[in-house]
């Protein structure tokens, strides 16, 4: 049970990390275009 939760947390962190890279890249492109 605890092991499954740990796996879900790790997947969530990986997804959040990947999304944050996309968001940062989008923000940088918006800042540089202005």
Helix (H/G/I), strand (E/B), else coil: 34: coil
Tokens of 21: 């890279």
Q: What is the pLDDT of residue 1?
A: 63
Q: What is the pLDDT of residue 18?
A: 92
Q: What is the pLDDT of residue 5?
A: 86
Q: What is the pLDDT of residue 4?
A: 86
Predicted confidence (pLDDT) per residue in 1-27, tens digit: 677 888 899 999 999 999 999 999 999
Q: Is the pLDDT of residue 31 over 90?
A: yes
C-alpha distances out from residue 31 to 3, 14, 15, 18, Å: 42, 26, 24, 20
Q: What is the pLDDT of residue 3?
A: 77
Tokens of 15: 């997804």
Judge if pTM exceeds 0.75: no
d(CA 34, CA 26): 13
């Amino acid at each position: 049970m605890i092991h499954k939760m740990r796996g879900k947390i790790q997947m969530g962190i990986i997804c959040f990390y990947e999304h944050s890279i996309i968001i940062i890249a989008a923000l940088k492109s918006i800042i540089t275009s202005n």
